[in-house]
Amino acid sequence: MRNQSLKDFVVGRLLPQVQTPAQYVGGELGMVAKDHHEVRGRLCLAFPDAYTIGMSHHGLQVLYTLMNGRDDWACERVFTPMLDMQRLLRRHELPLFSLESFTPLAEFDVLGFTLQYELGYTNVLTMLDLADIPLVAEGRAEHHPLVIAGGPCVANPEPMSRFIDLFVLGDGEQSLPEVCDTWLKLRQSGGDREAMLGEMAARLPYAYVPRFYRPQPDNGRPGPARPTRPGLPGLIQPAVLADLDAMPLPTRPVVPYVECVQDRITLEIMRGCPGRCRFCQSTTLKRPLRCRQVETILQAAMETYRNTGYNEISLLSLSTSDYPHFNELTRRLQQTFRPLGVSVSVPSLRVNEQLRTLSELLNTDRRSGLTLAPEVARDEMREQIGKRITNDDLYEGCRRAFANGFSRVKLYFLCGLPGEREVDLDGIVEMAETISRLGKEVAGRFATVVANVSNFVPKPHTPYQFNAMQRRDYFHAARECLYRQKRLRSVQLKCHDVESSLLEGMLSRGDRRTADAIESAWRCGARFDAWNEHFESRRWWQAFAEAGIDAEQTLHVARPLDALFPWDHMGIHQGRQYLESQQEQSAAHLSQECFHPE
């Protein structure tokens, strides 16, 4: 079926039968549609989740703008269809298609997945299957697209190594154009797929091609993968965009037809984080610290506003208030955009002395709330996890925010960190209720405080990769402890699903055998596992058992500093020695009075 015929059939026959049909038609403001006959290469960016989630991802907009800024490449988009659309595509034997041109995915030169979170892995398989592209990388022929993947989950690519031809480690702006150009050049030379992939692995230091690596055992456990042919690197080095300011921001982003999770102008002002929180994977993966200039950000903000009409600007980084010119930037944004009715939001705030003046800097007409991430509530635990904040700064910042009209605070905490005590759990509720009472003291009524409590997962390439994850009984007991302590109705506790967190741990810390479990769970119906209404944990634990994967060993056994991990062949900026030294410093602060479930 030709592309236009496919579009006519989908629009005329399928879309009247699905919910939110606008997510499948393309044609949005800012979309770029090129004639495939006038370009050398065709790339489709694939986000393995729903349109409303993927269109909120800033990285996708960045890469879409970057590749479509070239005359020789056409870059298009695809997202995981919802279950009703999946059923219709299968019933009518129609391929999954791109939004820009309704081109079947199998006809692109390169298909690039963003692996943003582990619970989207089964959606990758769904998209490959709907596209009629073989699930297993080694089953693909010369005419199939190169299937690549980037994003934070590439920190440990082994669980998805069976399904991806080539993983890209590090910054996509630096690596994606070179990967696409190299593949196209090799493909046009007429080589076979195996040889072309071997050439890619040898040429590109940030490219990992799993078929040319084999995991080596470490004391009976799977260790890092080693190259099986000469000329390949033993350590994959991340691509690093040296000059962030020189990389243009997407000032003409695609504006969705339907309401998405993030409907606003997003401006990445800084990449990396000056903090050294030991639990945080992003701060290790995104080093070194790089910043954009104030003038660059202001110009991009105005251009994007003119091109989209959004009435909110969100400043994006791991810790926005640590941006070195933060006061100047927010002041000038307010001067420019407040007269236009455009608000400025800062979703990632560090709790430091700058929080004391933040509410004045963000004195907009939409003072709905602050979002803060204290992570833990007590100083001793902060010292252990390496987070340099104080409660005095947090409380004074909230006090001033309430005086300036803010009425709601959202807090993010972690449960299950190494050395956690019952007093640390009590402190979460105590902190939330103290902030709520400050609202009463300052503004005459209790502030609404939402305390979001996530279950700690010791992620690869963090100092806590050596630690064990707590068991489900621990998390359930900790949740009960939190709810027992809560007294104020103005405080709301939201605890993350325990089974989802355990699955995240299994997938993020897994080895190459995990691919068997992923495929088995998918064949048993696993879809949209990040969505509570679709997630079923039983099929996953059965899949792990059938694959011979021991959850106890993967999650709940601490490892010595000299242990080898399945992800050790993927490099990070600081190196393994840094992780070991940080783990030792953290262990020196561990308390002997840990919380024990009754």
Q: Is residue 304 part of a domain?
A: no
- In this prediction, residue 443 carries a pLDDT of 92
Comparing 358-362, 448-452, 552-556, the range with the smallest average pLDDT is 358-362
287-309 mean pLDDT = 96
What is the C-alpha separation between 257 and 254, in angstroms, rounded? 9
- In this prediction, residue 456 carries a pLDDT of 97
Domain total for the chain?
Answer: 1
Q: Is residue 386 part of a domain?
A: no
Both tokens assigned to 352:
């430091």
Q: Based on the number of CB atoms within 10 Å of its own CB, is 566 exposed (0-12), middle (13-18) or buried (19 or more)?
A: buried
Q: pLDDT band at residue 320, thresholds of 50, 70 and 90?
A: confident
Asked whether residue 442 carries a pLDDT value surpassing 70, the answer given is yes
**Range of the structural domain that residue 118 is part of:** 3-227
What is the C-alpha separation between 203 and 168, in angstroms, rounded? 13
- In this prediction, residue 589 carries a pLDDT of 77
- In this prediction, residue 591 carries a pLDDT of 63
Helices (H) and strands (E) in the chain, counts: 20, 17
Q: Is residue 353 part of a domain?
A: no
Q: How does pLDDT run across 5-36, given as a tens digit for each residue?
A: 999 999 999 999 999 999 999 999 999 999 99
Q: Is residue 141 part of a domain?
A: yes
45-51 mean pLDDT = 98
Both tokens assigned to 510:
């897994």
What CATH number corresponds to the domain at position 29?
3.40.50.280
* Of 435 and 189, the one with more pLDDT: 435
Which residues neighbour 203 within 8 Å (Cβ) at sequence distance 6 or greater? 182
Q: pLDDT band at residue 366, thresholds of 50, 70 and 90?
A: very low
Q: pLDDT band at residue 405, thresholds of 50, 70 and 90?
A: confident
Which residues neighbour 321 within 8 Å (Cβ) at sequence distance 6 or greater? 346, 349, 350, 352, 354, 355, 358
Q: Is residue 506 part of a domain?
A: no
Both tokens assigned to 550:
């021991």
Asked whether residue 547 carries a pLDDT value surpassing 90, the answer given is yes
Q: Is residue 78 part of a domain?
A: yes
Asked whether residue 358 carries a pLDDT value surpassing 80, the answer given is no
* Of 399 and 239, the one with more pLDDT: 239
- In this prediction, residue 365 carries a pLDDT of 42
The phi, psi pair for 353, rounded to 5°, reads -65, -25
Comparing 386-395, 459-468, 534-543, the range with the smallest average pLDDT is 386-395
- Decide: helix, strand or coil at residue 474: helix
- In this prediction, residue 592 carries a pLDDT of 58
Dump the DSSP string for 337-393. Answer: HGGGT-EEE--SB--STTHHHHHHHT--S----EEEEEESSSHHHHHHHT----HHH
Q: Is residue 234 part of a domain?
A: no
Q: Is residue 153 part of a domain?
A: yes
Question: Rounded to 5, what percent of the chain is helix, strand, coil?
Answer: 45, 15, 40
